[in-house]
Chains A and B, each alone.
Chain A
Amino acid sequence: MWAAEKSRTNPLIPYAATISAVRELTLDVNLFQVELHDGGGFAYQPGQFAFLSAFGVGEAPFSITSLHAEGGPMEFAIRRVGTVSAALHDMEPGSLVGVRGPFGNCFPLDDFRGKNLVIIGGGIGLAPLRPIIKTTLGHRSDFGDLLIIYGARTAQDLVFATEFEDWAAVPGARLELTVDREGPGWEGRVALVPAVIKELQPSAENTTAIICGPPIMIRFALAELKALGFENHQIVTTLESKMKCGLGKCARCNIGEKYVCQDGPVFTFDQISGFLEQL
Chain B
Amino acid sequence: MSRFLSLDGLLAWLDGLLKEGTVVVAPTLVEGVSLYQPVPAAAEIDLDGGATVLSPKEWLFPQSHTLFTVERRDGAAELKEGTFDGRAVLFGLHPCDALGVHLMDVPFLAEPADASYRERRERTALVGLSCTRCRPECFCTSMGTAPDDPAHLDVMLTPVEGGYAVAAASEKGEALLASAVLEEKAVPLPEPPVPDRLPTEDLPRVFRALFGHAYWGRVADRCIHCNICSYVCPTCYCFDVRDYSRGNTAERVQSWESCQAPGFARIAGGYEPRPSKAAKMRQRFAHKFLYFPEAFDGPLSCTGCGRCVRSCPVNIDIREIIGDLQRIGVSSVGSGEKQD
State the CA gap A11–B116 with chains docked (Å): 10
Once A6-B81, A11-B115, A249-B237 are accepted as A-B contacts, the answer to whether A241 and B268 lie under 8 Å apart by CB is: no
Which of A41-49, A112-120, A187-195, A271-279 touches B? A271-279
B295 at the A interface (CB under 8 A): yes
B241 at the A interface (CB under 8 A): yes
Indicate if the CB atoms of A277 and B211 lie closer than 8 Å: yes
Residues of chain A with a CB closer than 8 A to B250's CB: 55-57
A residues 1-25 touching B (CB-CB < 8 Å): 1-2, 6, 9-13, 16
B252 at the A interface (CB under 8 A): yes
B residues 127-167 touching A (CB-CB < 8 Å): none
Indicate if the CB atoms of A254 and B291 lie closer than 8 Å: yes
Residues of chain A with a CB closer than 8 A to B184's CB: none
Indicate if the CB atoms of A12 and B77 lie closer than 8 Å: no
B242 at the A interface (CB under 8 A): yes
Indicate if the CB atoms of A244 and B114 lie closer than 8 Å: no
Residues of chain B with a CB closer than 8 A to A215's CB: 271
Render A138-178 as a binary contact track against B, CB cut-off 8 A, 1 for contact.
00000000000000000000000000000000000000000
Indicate if the CB atoms of A276 and B211 lie closer than 8 Å: yes
- B290, chain A: closest CB distance, angstroms: 7
Residues of chain B with a CB closer than 8 A to A11's CB: 112, 115
Least CB separation from A276: chain B residue? B211
B266 at the A interface (CB under 8 A): yes
State the CA gap A219–B274 with chains docked (Å): 18
Residues of chain A with a CB closer than 8 A to B271's CB: 215, 240
Indicate if the CB atoms of A257 and B240 lie closer than 8 Å: no
- A261, chain B: closest CB distance, angstroms: 12
State the CA gap A9–B81 with chains docked (Å): 11
Indicate if the CB atoms of A251 and B259 lie closer than 8 Å: yes
Q: Could you tell me how many residues of chain B have their Cβ less than 8 Å away from some Cβ of chain A?
A: 50
Residues of chain B with a CB closer than 8 A to A82's CB: 267-269
Once A2-B79, A242-B264, A249-B107 are accepted as A-B contacts, the answer to whether A12 and B242 lie under 8 Å apart by CB is: no
Residues of chain A with a CB closer than 8 A to B72's CB: 55, 96
Render B48-91 as a binary contact track against A, CB cut-off 8 A, 1 for contact.
00000000000000000001101010001111010000000000
Select one of B78, B115, B240, B269 contacting A250, CB under 8 A.
B240
Once A1-B77, A242-B266, A277-B211 are accepted as A-B contacts, the answer to whether A257 and B295 lie under 8 Å apart by CB is: yes
Residues of chain A with a CB closer than 8 A to B265's CB: 241-242, 252-254
Indicate if the CB atoms of A251 and B241 lie closer than 8 Å: no
Indicate if the CB atoms of A59 and B115 lie closer than 8 Å: no
B residues 234-258 touching A (CB-CB < 8 Å): 237-245, 250, 252, 254, 257
Indicate if the CB atoms of B267 and A242 lie closer than 8 Å: yes
- Residues of B in contact with A (beta carbons under 8 Å apart): 67-68, 70, 72, 76-79, 81, 107-108, 110, 112, 114-116, 208, 211, 237-245, 250, 252, 254, 257, 259, 264-269, 271, 273-274, 279, 283, 286-287, 290-291, 294-295, 340
Known: A16-B79, A257-B295, A276-B208. 10 other contacts (CB 8 A): A56-B243, A57-B245, A60-B268, A241-B265, A248-B110, A249-B108, A249-B237, A251-B287, A253-B265, A254-B291
